[in-house]
Chain A
């Protein structure tokens, strides 16, 4: 909002680190030796000292931050990042244009700019008071009738109604300030007017321009947390307990961890569409959703990349519905399919509704754990004992131990055998690599983008469950 109430109280200056950093940049820009080249600028008849041109600012920023290779190659062409950084400094009012102070834009040419005085820095005065704004607008109005922009006229009228009781004070102050200003040199007067105008452009932006001061809903400041921290012995006891636990934990050497990233990224690189592209084409680029159709969750013929992924880790295999189905087939051949079913039932329990917990636990027990159960799973006796103990007070994590045991069994035993099996090798051989769709450059034709049915319309996703069949429901509007 341009006029009206001041922006909602944001965070104090300490919590706006970007302002402090901008100030540091601006200060180093004004360094007499290392800073931007300053010159005197002639504006009509007055000479303003310590002005800089937009292009000098951009060039200095490019050099100082070694921003991009492109800039080094062609110094005349401003690097977009340096331009952006300069624009941001101007937008926040740290640098202001001398000729057209109505818009805070950085032009990378001979346009003259000056550095804002610290008095008006965005972080120093906070928040800008309505009375001050009224005085400023009144001054502008008195000095030259009709120089107020439309939005400023609106604000002026609004403030007039709002603080009509103090309006005499406002006008008096305005006249006094104008009188004092007349006693200054023309150059100084111009500069001060520009500075003030910039300040108000930042604090009361015109409608449509983004307010750089807007922060979002207030957050709990660290100051508040500091008070919380010095409160009690309990806090320190918690810290001590945490540190003791942490000290007891085993850590892995950095070199091992970092190598793991390299191998992970290397392995997955060809599967990452943003890094390696995708076949037949990236739907977002070609407007063709063939890629999604080919890689739908349940598809008869998975692509080669997809089948390869099943060998990366057991989790990848289980997360892919097609992979999981094939694995289930494989286990069936080895007469250990109940392991996977048990694991799936446990997942359903863990992530299911709270109200379902007792029934699900019971169902799992009856089907998998009870002596003589139809699909009895082979768990070691200790885990079985613990689980049966826990079943007296069923909660959603009661089967965690058993689930982990079965998971590890499948991971260490069945999974490697699956990867070596003829079944998997056959799938890999069958799987195809989609052909790259030729990019149609000419003739240009606008390809209609196919819509797809919303998942909210389809029958509830079929997750193979042990207890009960797949969820039904037609859900068609």
Chain B
């Protein structure tokens, strides 16, 4: 005995033409509909059309991208290290750790300097955010966030507040108070709301606006007082890991880097992406503007740091060595832009000569990966935070100088 299959014909009104016909189940965008055979065939050909349009769009995009690369290459007449040949080489430096800040009970994830050039705020994996006077190594304030992995923290330009956030998907602003009766956490203001972790935050020129970057692939500009979203920036194809505001005269752009290997420059006013650069081979962990605002550097998991020029619209230098295998987690320039400090996941910090492209020195000392690195606002020192629970403030002097 064999099983016989019976084809069941359902009669009814077609969902498209509403005529009474034999119906077939059809799936459109995961929704089940019943179409008559004629409408089903029409839909099949339409889908074919759509695919064709998709393919043609794709090829158009590819060809335009190719043309863009050609245009960029046309104006590339010289390499940076060639131009820099006539620059005097940097002499020897004596770079030592001048302060070690111990107090975090867990990995230090982020830090920022205050405009007074000596105070810093740092955040760690266990939710603790500490404000230090790093010159005296005293701790001045401490807050425990309700979440772990506080990956972003920032000092307000006035020095009166700090912002921080992480796995709670929010950015909160805490006004700093010396009142012993007041709990800092009581005055906390929840400003930003994202749908995934907060990876970076920064105040703009005042205490009243914050720019945030998140694992949900977007950046956003918020008004601190009301928590209102002023502008959002969409375009990254994956998590955004870092951002930096441009030091320009008209102060309207910022750059962000993400897991999609792209570094994108945005116009804060319109929310549009102005320029994009995609030459890294892995996640971009950190971006920082060159002091003149005409270029920015990026550090990535592919163990290279790259310099991108905004006017030439291309990458102009790569800072890498075969012996450097681990990704760069954070980068920053010295005041003149001649030195690039980069902290790596193999516990070291490499100092690069920006113009010549060579490494000036390698610094050891941390016992776990360097997660954050910032040069102080007046350029007298730089601070590195690491997963070994400490922060180190290092300063250098040319070998010929006493100080």
Contact = CB atoms under 8 A, between A and B. Distances in A.
Interface of A: 15, 17-18, 21-22, 25, 61, 64-65, 67, 80-82, 84-85, 88, 210, 214, 216-217, 219-222, 224-225, 228-229, 233, 236-240, 242-244, 246-247, 249, 251-262, 264-269, 271-286, 289, 291-292, 295, 314-315, 347, 350-355, 397, 400, 404, 407, 411, 436-439, 449-452, 454-457, 460-461, 477
A451 B138 contact: yes
Interface in B84-143: 84, 87, 90, 93, 98-99, 114-119, 133, 135-136, 138, 140
Given A252-B311, A254-B316, A292-B118, 10 more contacts: A65-B321, A85-B325, A221-B259, A240-B61, A260-B292, A262-B87, A266-B87, A275-B338, A455-B158, A455-B159
B54 interface: yes
A229 B348 contact: no
B158 A261 contact: no
Contacts of A219: 215, 238-239, 241, 259, 283
A257 B316 contact: yes
Interface in B148-201: 149, 151, 158-161, 167, 175-180, 196-197
Contacts of B388: 210
B313 A15 contact: no
B178 A477 contact: yes
Contacts, number: 333
B291 A264 contact: yes
B336 to A, nearest CB: 3
The range of chain B's interface size is: 35 or more
Contacts of B180: 477
B75 A236 contact: no
B322 interface: yes
A454 B178 contact: yes
B16 interface: no
A451 B338 contact: no
B303 A17 contact: yes
A271 B226 contact: no
Interface string B231-254: 000010111010000010111000
B12 interface: no
Contact of B301 (A17, A221, A254): A17
28 contacts: A17-B303, A18-B346, A67-B323, A210-B387, A222-B261, A243-B65, A243-B67, A243-B68, A253-B312, A254-B316, A258-B80, A258-B316, A262-B83, A271-B335, A274-B380, A277-B398, A277-B401, A279-B403, A286-B403, A292-B117, A314-B249, A354-B230, A452-B116, A454-B159, A455-B115, A455-B116, A456-B176, A461-B158
B98 to A, nearest CB: 4
Interface-central residue, A67, A238, A261, A269, by most chain B CB under 10 Å = A261
A254 B78 contact: yes
A300 B337 CA distance: 29
A282 B57 contact: no
A351 B259 contact: no
B77 A253 contact: yes
B378 interface: yes
Contacts of B175: 456
B217 A271 contact: no
A265 B336 contact: yes
A295 B376 CA distance: 14
Given A251-B75, A436-B402, A454 B176 contact: yes
Give 10 nearest A-B pairs by CB, closest first: A455-B159, A277-B401, A268-B336, A272-B336, A477-B178, A243-B64, A281-B403, A351-B206, A65-B323, A456-B176
Contacts of B381: 274, 282, 284
Contacts of B256: none
A236 B396 contact: no
A81 B347 CA distance: 12
A259 B215 contact: no
Interface in B24-61: 50, 53-54, 57-58, 60-61
B259 A222 contact: yes
B318 interface: no
Interface string B262-291: 000000010001011000011100000011
A339 to B, nearest CB: 15
Contacts of B144: none
